[in-house]
Amino acid sequence: MPDKVSPIKALPPASRTYGAIGPHSERPHWGMVIDQERCTGCWSCAVICKSENDVPLGAWWNRVLTEGEAVDQPKEEHGHLGMDWLPLTCQHCENAPCVKVCPVQATYHRDDGLVMMDYERCIGCRYCMIACPYGVRVFNWGQPERPTPHETGMVAARPLGTVEKCSMCVHRIDEGQVPSCVWSCPSQARIFGDLNDPASRVSRLAHEGRVLLEESGTKPSVFYLKPRRKREL
């Protein structure tokens, strides 16, 4: 997909070490655990995602939802005020509704479990957006508007009239680096790795976590660790 050469190789060694994926099995299934206990709702992941992937104005691949009535508004629980966030992006489902409904196989699974988009094949019918229960797909309604006159990020901009979404920063994964949102999270609330490797940290944590809309049977590759203590305000 990316037709730009990733400058990741040019990063200083310390930075590359920090972002390295680490040991994994021979046939990895990439997955992510998001620790809601650690999330502070700072939107760093959402913002770096926009610049990393050149997501145009008005569209977001990655959002931070507040579990409550309004953004960053505390909610009352058992007489205490609390505030939790739910960072939401493509769940890279194993049983992905979007892959099932795409009439032209423009959205498909890679061998490593990632749900990918073929932007040259997509006909822009938006059926995948209808099918996705997580609402993480965005459409290129018009010519992309950007805050700067030039393109940003590490991947090519998507054509008008196609659906786009989180690629789990596949261009970084293919260079042995974790996705941008994982790398940038200041509280290390995102843990990335190989779900096929039982010894990996992500596998161990995934067992403790839950998936979103489990009753829908989509089998996401993204797991959530519930907030474990009450924040009293």
Among 71, 187, 188, 198, binds another protein (CB under 8 A): 71
Alpha helices (H) in 164-228, listed in sequence order: 170-173, 180-184, 201-208
Q: Which is nearer to another protein, 5 or 65 (CB)?
A: 65
Q: How many other β-carbons are positioned within 10 Å of the β-carbon of residue 54?
A: 18
Stretch of 27-35, 115-123, 177-185, 192-200 contacting another protein, by CB under 8 A: 115-123
| 8 Å CB contact between 206 and 214 | no
Q: How far is the CB of 17 from another protein (least distance, A)?
A: 34
Among 7, 10, 12, 143, binds another protein (CB under 8 A): 143
CA distance 85 to 68: 9
Q: How far is the CB of 227 from another protein (least distance, A)?
A: 14
Rounded to 5 degrees, what are φ and ψ at 65?
-90, 150
Stretch of 18-26, 141-149, 166-174, 220-228 contacting another protein, by CB under 8 A: 141-149
| 8 Å CB contact between 74 and 82 | yes
Q: Which is nearer to another protein, 42 or 125 (CB)?
A: 125
Pairing of strands 115-117, 107-109: antiparallel
Contact residues for another protein, defined by CB under 8 A: 56-60, 63, 65-71, 73, 86, 88, 97, 100-106, 121-127, 129-135, 137-143, 145, 159-163, 212-213, 216-218
